[in-house]
A and B are shown apart, each in its own frame.
Chain A
Amino acid sequence: MKNRVLIIEASDIIRRGLKGIIENHLHYDVETTERAGQVIDLHCSTVIINPGVAGLTEERLRQLRIDATNSNVRLLALVYAYFDAEILSTFDDIIFINDTEMQLVSKLRRQPAKDSGLPDEAATLSERELDVLQLVAKGCSNKEIADKLNISIHTSISHRKNITAKLGIKSASGLTIYAIINKLVNPDELYNSFT
């Protein structure tokens, strides 16, 4: 099933910005709405909702939490104002308005149990390791990775080793498959990745 994301946020600029990033990086379907309507459509994998959005009372949030859990939907808060810690603890994760694209993408990539049945290993890779993994998938050598990320070859090799230790995959072609199935890279961008 293709991942669908529902964004509930009052600001048009923020809705569009989020939608753009998610579509670009993850190729998920994204729908947006400006207020929490009477019925929130949970036919999606993730709901990103600003806890301050119109129509969302504490009571409705509690109900939304229960419905989301039952439908295996991840509930993410989109936060750029102060909210009570208790409210924030209702959510599976929190997206901050000053998150980098990669932070946002990695928060979204953690799948609900229904979808994969397995904890997503990519979630345990650090941001830097994700960068390195993407470049490995694109066929870059350790030297090229070092140059592109502005790190030493030694560091690039050590990232690669850590990735292998976490995923149990040593070969570049195996890592490429991992990157494709986890949508870290777009297969169309790859060429000659299998030796």
Chain B
Amino acid sequence: MDKYISGSARLADIIMKHERLLLVIERFGIRLGFGDRSIREVCLANGVNEALALAVMNLFIRQPIPPDIHLDTGILSGLMDYLRNAHRYFLEEKLPYISELIDRFISHTENPDTRLLQQFFKGYEREVDEHMRLENSTVFPYVKALLYKDSGQPHDHAALKYSIADFEAHHSDIEEKLEDLTHLLIKHFPPTKDRFYRNLILLELFELQYDLNDHGKIEDHILTPLVKQLEDRHINEK
């Protein structure tokens, strides 16, 4: 079993071992080409909160957050930058890429029914877009206002008319349709002339499912509890 990742580990070694962390460091704004530097050094050089980076990385490799890491509300601003970057990646890079693969699949098969997949996927894209846009436009401004208020700075009062409990209640499952799509491609669509793109789409869908699952966990297990702490501090003033 994997041991958890600590700040003294060399980032390059960790990436070699857990290649999915490439996605994570990209979202923290860490560019490749960091030589043999440790996670701590790379975080310092890039202005990334080390505790936050370690929490996310360990969550991605399904390890508990290391006991020496203390997460406080100070990481929230960095966490929101990370989540925004992840949203951008999903909406502007990953989903359009899969959509393009589906187009290629369609043009390489002789089965007109495959066009239904693109319609289905476009519907899914709209669903994810709505979901993530809502977080960007409602949840994050709310947390930002709370943080400003917490540090005694002027803040957006309108944005404070929200609660993380609303978020928890409406944090919907955006993986359901992805699973449907994998089932359709694996089991239900008859064999197609093209196999290359069909497989590629599936590999991308599995990867995306994994990624979205981890993304949701970060929101539910790191973001939400910290925002609750922040809310509790101001509970009487609301």
Contact = CB atoms under 8 A, between A and B. Distances in A.
Interface in B161-191: 176-177, 179-181, 183-184, 187-191
Contacts, number: 60
Interface size class of B (residues with CB under 8 A): 10 to 19
9 contacts: A117-B190, A118-B188, A118-B191, A167-B188, A169-B188, A171-B177, A173-B177, A177-B120, A181-B190
Contact of B113 (A169, A170, A174, A180): A180
Interface string B106-129: 000000010011011011000000
Nearest to A174: B180
A194 B177 CA distance: 12
Contact of B188 (A171, A178, A194, A195): A178
Contacts of A180: 113, 116
Contacts of B188: 118, 121, 167, 169, 177-178, 181-182
A115 interface: yes
Interface residues of A, number: 19
A116 interface: yes
A177 B187 contact: no
Contact of B123 (A116, A117, A118, A173): A173
A17 interface: no
Nearest to B113: A181
B123 A194 contact: yes
Given A117-B190, A118-B190, A169 B183 contact: yes
Contact of B181 (A174, A181, A195): A174
Interface of A: 115-118, 121, 167-171, 173-174, 177-178, 180-182, 194-195
Contacts of A115: 190
A185 B4 CA distance: 52
Interface of B: 113, 116-117, 119-120, 122-123, 176-177, 179-181, 183-184, 187-191
Contacts of B184: 169, 174, 177-178
Chain B CB within 10 Å — which of A171, A174, A182 has the most? A174
B127 to A, nearest CB: 8
A122 B87 CA distance: 38
A98 B183 CA distance: 36
A195 B176 CA distance: 14
B123 A168 contact: no
A170 B119 CA distance: 17
Given A181-B113, A181-B116, A194-B120, A174 B187 contact: no
A170 B123 CA distance: 14
A113 B183 CA distance: 19
Given A171-B180, A173-B123, A116 B187 contact: no
Interchain residue pairs A-B with the least CB separation, the first 4: A174-B180, A168-B183, A117-B191, A116-B190
Contacts of A178: 184, 188
A167 B176 CA distance: 13
Nearest to B114: A181
Nearest to A168: B183
A117 to B, nearest CB: 5
Contact of A167 (B123, B183, B190): B183
A174 B117 contact: no
Given A117-B190, A118-B190, A169-B183, 17 more contacts: A115-B190, A116-B190, A117-B191, A118-B187, A118-B191, A170-B176, A171-B176, A171-B177, A171-B180, A173-B177, A173-B180, A177-B120, A178-B188, A181-B188, A181-B189, A194-B119, A194-B122
